Structure formats: structure tokens, C-alpha cells
Structure 1
């Protein structure tokens, strides 16, 4: 079936993993950095067909992060990514990034987030002017999700991210997240962060049930996560599946990314129909548009074609995403 051209929602898209090659070139030019060729950019920013696992996949963020170390670069990138998404038929986007990863040249996390918020504001102003009516801003909803990072020695930086999220919550920031090497740094190690987020009333999602199994999802739920990033390994635990379905906890599924990272060998192994049949609130997202060489329409079309999904099933996926955005909580 043909996917609608308008009305798409991406709940799980990383800024650093979604810089287009044109954006990368412009960012390099802006900062007087070496300009990379098309082949060099592909090698640096796109997961290869023989990508080994999540840790291998994460190496494709190194170069984009080099480009995203100034306020100007952050503002520009948010603005341009939102423009691209709108041109692709999205009407809602929650862009996520880890402020602590953008402080290598002296920016504070507060400056990073303020620059990102300015990118959203610039985009809203741009579409309002281009449409000739302020109503245009209400036709595209966008917000920022701030990622804490899994690691062994960054507790202070993670807590700073929580504090900054509190400062900008409902002023561009819509939620928190926990990202990074899930198998190396278990979710259970980060309880304190999300207890503090809960105390501040900030909602959050957590990457879980991707590189690690159901125990990671259980911990995320115990902490109070409103959504689960990926979460496909929930199917290894029948009790967990029933809990997710009963409480209508949305899963932010990213099919191509999960194949890239070898969670599944082939897209034909992807359990989208089983998840829907179990009553789980599944959504389809891009994760990283450039690293996974995809768009949201491509992702939805991929599962629709692979599993011969009905119009009703695709409609349910889109409805689930629309109902699950943190922007509805503002």
C-alpha cells in the first residue's frame, strides 16, 4: 500500500545520526574545517552493509559530533533537519541529542540546548512567514529530547543534563532519554538520574530492549519511563509483553537500524506483526536518517511491503505515534 504523503510523526530521531551530506559540508565550511568528498562522508556517516553490532554502528556518530560543537552549528542543524522532515511529509518530530557530547570546545550544556531551541524557533518563524500565516506553526509540532549517556564516569554530566532539561522543559524540551552502549552499561546503573527526573516532573523514554534483553525494559518501567526506545526484545518475556500491552507503553521501533545493528538478521525477521497482535502500542521511527540511510516514509513502506500490512495496520502504527508524542503532555 502507498504511505500517506502527509501527517507522519517521528518519535525517535537522533540529530547527530541524521545530518545530511549537504548539512555536513555546510557545517564544515562554516567552521573552516576540511571538506570531505561524497565517498568520505559515506564512509564516515553511513553504516556499512557488514555493520557488526550496535557498538560498530555507534562509530558513525564520531564525525557528525566533530561538526556539532558550536552554537551556530547546533542552531543550523536543528533548523535544517526540521526543514527536511517537513518536506518529507512529517507533521511532528521529536529530535534527540546528548548535550554533554557537544561541549568539547567549551560550550556548557545550557548553551547547547539554548542553541537547539533557537533552531526550533527559527524554523517556526520560517514556516510561518513562508506560508503567510501564523497557523502554519501549529501544523508542524517539534520538540527536543535530551539524552543522558550510558558510561562509567559521566554521572555529573548526566545529572547536569537532567538539570538543564528542567530549565528548558516546556520551553522547547519535551523529555529526557538514556542512550549509548546498552549492553556495556546496564540500565539499572542509572536509577538516580531518572528518580531525579521524576521528582522534577520531567517525562522520559529510555533506550532499552535493543542490545540488552527484557531486564533492561523492566528497569526502565521501574524507573517510570513513559515510552521505550526500541524495546523489540520484550518478546523474550511473556509477562513483560502483557505489562506493555496493559499499560499501553509505546515502543519506538526503528526497523532498519535494528537490522543494521544485527538485532535481526533480515527485515523479514522483524516482529512488527507479532507486536501488534500482542496489543503493544508499536510506532515506526527512523532512529538515524543518515547512518541507516532511511526516511520515515521509507521505514513505514518497508514494513508495509515486507509483511503485506493492511491499510488498517499502517493506520494503527501512525495513530500510535501521533498519540504517543511527548508534545501532547505540554
Structure 2
């Protein structure tokens, strides 16, 4: 097994066929049938789905400066986070978030999405009442998206490492009010390499006791130890997790336990988490038997679509059927949604789609 070292870019053309981690990955021409094959997306930040036209409209509506369009080039994860923060502060009201969710549901449905688990951040600037109102608006929008576009949506709100611990615990309590009503999990994101995870143990317990499984980010800015840490805290799925490839024993453990990693191939490449001159972590992990769903992370910021990511994954050797099966295994929707998606997968990909 080749173990990539993270954050380095070699001078030579990589085995997967790109020249630099800021380049667009190869975009394979797809037939309409391939574009519309069923897809499950488990890792997409709602704030990062807002395309420039809608972002500008929202900014003008709030009399805010229109954010500059990003080039998609970042020095590292923290440079990306700074850009993300500058862009997403344009979303100010529950109605803004509602519009964002409906817009992305429509876009993803055109690319074949049948189930989404969007991430939305609890921001201290919203206050707890504002946070509750935002989640209520998103629950309503998710129901409308299902009716209008045939896409089931399980919301997975989260807080960020570095936020005030008391606030995050209160935010988790608010989120549990919507458990069973469209909110299906609770997460933790942010600068894992700069802020510790352990202070949020109580928050994780509060969410879990309220019916929301723990779906954290880990193994992106920090290495295998970050993945082990969130597994010890009860993570049912890991968002990213790709730096597990630095520890073959951890990779074997993930495969044996059936832990699903939500991999975002382009994001990993653009942010230097994957090396251009070595096999992409998605390839290494799936070859080792780890179930990896395929997602966009922040499609508007990276200028990609869900169909692009599935095509890129296929270029890396992960077929749409395999990606769909991992998404099905990792999804947090209710039993009825799971049963429906099993049937969808069997009809599209044959009886080999695991349930």
C-alpha cells in the first residue's frame, strides 16, 4: 500500500493524470443517462453551495458587499476557511438558508441526487433563537424539496472547533428538538489541527441522547490520531478521514468496522490534503476495503457539481455503484428512506448494491 504524505506536491505528473492540486480534475464526458444515475451525497456544506448569482442577490438584499468570486486556489485549509467565512456571512436570515437549500436540492437532483445530508453551521452571531428559527426553516424547506424534486434530505447541523463550549452544548440541545423531523445527525468541524476536540464530549453526549448521532470532520487538517479521537467519542461516520491512509492499522480497522468515510475528492486535491504525485486517498482507502461515499464539500466555491465528483471518483476507480453503496451504508435518514434508496440502487445498479 502506498501511504501518501499530506500537504506536499511533487513536481512530476501524478499517476491519476493531473499536474497540480489546484487544477480541475479530469472531467469525463457523461451521457445524460450517466449524469442522472442515482447519487447519494453525505458531505456538502449548505453555505458552500450558494452559486455566485444567488450569493450576489442575497448580499445586495442585505446591503452587504458582494463577495468576490473565488478562484478556487487556496494556500491551505486555513486559507480556505477564511475565504469560506467571508463568503458565507452573506447568509443572514432563515429565508436565506431556505433559498440556499431549495436551490441546491434542485441542482443536485438534476445531477441524479436522490438523498442529501447537508451540513449547516450554528453561528454564535445567530443566537440560540435564531439558530432554532434557521433549523425550522430548513426542515420546512427539506420537506418542500422532497415534494418538488424527489430528493430526501437529512439535515446534519454542526458546530465548529474553537467555538465556546457552552454555546455548542446549547446549540446541540436546540438541534435535538428537530430530531425525527428532518434533522438526522450532529457534527463538529473546523480547524482540527489548531483546536482540540475533547472539550466537546459533553456536546456529543447531549446530541446523542437527543437522538442525533455524531458525524464529525476529522482526518483532514490533522492526521490519523484525529480520526481515532472521534471514533473513541462515538462517531458513526467520519467526514473526510482521508489522512487515515498514513496509518495502515487504522485503515484496516476502518475497513473491519465498516466505518464510512465521506470523501470529497476535488476538495482534498485543491486543499493539499491529497498529493498530486501519489494515488488519491480515495483510491487507497477503497482498495483497502474502506467504504467511502463521494461528495462535493463546497461545490460553489470549488466550481464543481455532484456529477463532476462522481465522474472524478470513477476516474480514480470508484464506480458510481460503489459510491452509492457507501452512501447508502452511511446515510442517517429514517428506515423508510433507507428502504426506498435500497430499491432505487437495485433498479439502477443491480442486486449487488449492499443495504
When normalised by structure 2's length, the TM-score is: 0.80
Partner of 2:55: 24
Contact 1:256-1:267 at 8 Å conserved across structures: no
Partner of 2:292: 282
In structure 2, which of residues 114, 139, 148 is the aligned counterpart of residue 117 of structure 1? 139
What are the within-5 Å matches in structure 2 for residues 86-105 of structure 1? 86-100=109-123, 103=126
The 3-state SS of whatever aligns with 2:262 is strand
Per the TM alignment, residue 329 of structure 1 is displaced from its structure 2 partner at its CA by: 5.3
Q: Structure 1 residues 122 and 29 mapped into 2: Cα distance closer, same or farther (>3 Å)?
A: farther
Deviates more, 1:216-225 or 1:25-34: 25-34
The CA distance in 2 between the partners of 1:198 and 1:118, in whole Å, is: 23
The 3-state SS of whatever aligns with 2:325 is helix
The CA distance in 1 between the partners of 2:204 and 2:257, in whole Å, is: 19
The runs of 5 or more residues in structure 1 that have no matched partner are 128-138
Q: Which structure would you say has the larger RCO, counting Cα contacts within 8 Å and 6 or more residues apart? A: 2
Contact 2:218-2:239 at 8 Å conserved across structures: yes
Partner of 1:252: 262
The CA distance in 2 between the partners of 1:4 and 1:121, in whole Å, is: 24
**Runs of 4+ in structure 1 displaced over 6 angstroms?**
none
Q: Which one has a larger percent helix, Structure 1 or Structure 2?
A: 1
Are 2:69 and 1:42 aligned? yes
Contact 1:99-1:112 at 8 Å conserved across structures: no
Q: Structure 1 residues 253 and 196 mapped into 2: Cα distance closer, same or farther (>3 Å)?
A: same
Partner of 1:134: none
What are the Cα deviations for residues 98-146 of structure 1, in whole angstroms up to 9, with x where unaligned?
1225617x9521112112222223333444xxxxxxxxxxx42112111
The 3-state SS of whatever aligns with 1:160 is helix
Per the TM alignment, residue 89 of structure 1 is displaced from its structure 2 partner at its CA by: 1.6
The runs of 5 or more residues in structure 2 that have no matched partner are 1-27, 337-355
Q: How many residues in Structure 1 have an aligned counterpart in Structure 2?
A: 305
In structure 2, which of residues 184, 187, 190 is the aligned counterpart of residue 177 of structure 1? 187
When normalised by structure 1's length, the TM-score is: 0.85
Per the TM alignment, residue 187 of structure 1 is displaced from its structure 2 partner at its CA by: 2.4
Per the TM alignment, residue 208 of structure 1 is displaced from its structure 2 partner at its CA by: 0.5
The 3-state SS of whatever aligns with 1:291 is helix
The CA distance in 1 between the partners of 2:206 and 2:328, in whole Å, is: 27
